[in-house]
Amino acid sequence: MKKFESHGIGFLSTLILSLILLGVLISWFQTASLKLYIGTIPWFFDQAAAFVSFLVYLIAAWILLKKLNKQVKEA
């Protein structure tokens, strides 16, 4: 964000990196939970909670980057 002075580019790089890490997390979780409860309701709730947490993270990142970008431009 500081290099290009745009919160959109900062958010895009955060989004790409977080999507990669979310994919790694989901693939790890599927292998870790394979023996316990694959295909059951708790597995579905765990996956849904991960996606909801991811969306909250993205919203918070967007708001924070927008606020920081505004402060940098004012200074």
pLDDT tens column, 1-51: 666 677 788 888 889 999 999 888 888 877 777 667 666 777 778 788 888
> How many Cα atoms sit within 13 Å of 71 on the Cβ side?
7
Higher pLDDT pick, 63 / 74:
63
Gap between the Cα atoms of 17 and 31, Å rounded: 22
Contacts of 26 (CB under 8 A, 6+ apart): 47, 50
Judge whether 72 and 10 are in contact, CB under 8 Å: no
